């Protein structure tokens, strides 16, 4: 099932590139899934790592995910999927609320995604300086609010010792980048 999710995501994101680089988009979901796999997460969560942006960024819909991967993977992808008809701030506020109220699997999917995104932004800033922010629909201050809010809310309802190690890595990356 994991290889099937990787192949599905690879095909779905074919031809797409990351915002601030010429890197194939699929590299991001692969890194998210790898983070989840290294944390020994469930196969459903690893599959959701590969598929987390498919509904947002490709013609595929949740029904397609459910048909191919079942309800457990679909629920995880749905919890992560933003409603692109809403403003940037509304979408991000919703994600923060999902991180705050979600179960450990939902939190893990979102944190693995945000950690990889932030590492990519950090790498881009090292290469191009403040010009990195021109690739985003929001300012540095808005991004700071968002990533710090995810970091603050990911701990709600779970003891730190139960969280995967990458939660701590995400917190450290947020602190380092936004100081």
Choosing from 24, 57, 75, 82, the catalytic residue is 57
**159-168 contact pairs (CB < 8 A, 24+):** 162/104, 163/104, 163/107, 164/39, 164/41, 164/108, 165/39, 166/35, 166/38, 166/39, 166/111, 166/112, 166/115, 167/107, 167/108, 167/111
Q: Quick check: is 53 catalytic?
A: no
Q: Quick check: is 56 catalytic?
A: yes
The distance from CA 44 to its chain's CA centroid, rounded to whole angstroms, is 15
Choosing from 3, 11, 23, 56, the catalytic residue is 56
- For tokens 């598929």, what's the residue? 51
Is residue 8 within 8 A of residue 50, CB to CB? The reply is yes
Active-site residue numbers?
Answer: 56-57
């Amino acid at each position: 099932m994991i290889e099937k999710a990787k192949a599905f995501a690879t095909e779905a994101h074919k031809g797409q590139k990351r915002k601030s680089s010429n890197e194939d988009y699929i590299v991001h979901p692969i890194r998210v899934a790898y983070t989840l796999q290294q944390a020994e997460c469930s196969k459903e969560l690893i599959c959701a790592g590969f598929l987390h942006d498919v509904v947002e960024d490709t013609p595929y819909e949740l029904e397609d995910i459910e048909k191919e991967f079942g309800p457990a993977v679909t629920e995880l992808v749905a919890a992560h999927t933003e409603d692109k008809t809403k403003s940037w701030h509304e979408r991000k506020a919703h994600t923060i609320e999902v991180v705050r109220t979600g179960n450990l699997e939902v939190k893990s999917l979102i944190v693995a995604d945000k950690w990889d995104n932030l590492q990519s932004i950090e790498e881009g800033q090292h290469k191009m300086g403040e010009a990195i922010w021109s690739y985003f629909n929001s300012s540095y201050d808005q991004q700071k609010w968002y990533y710090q809010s995810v970091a603050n809310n990911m701990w709600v309802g779970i003891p730190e010792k139960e969280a995967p190690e990458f939660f701590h890595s995400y917190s450290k990356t947020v602190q380092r980048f936004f100081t």
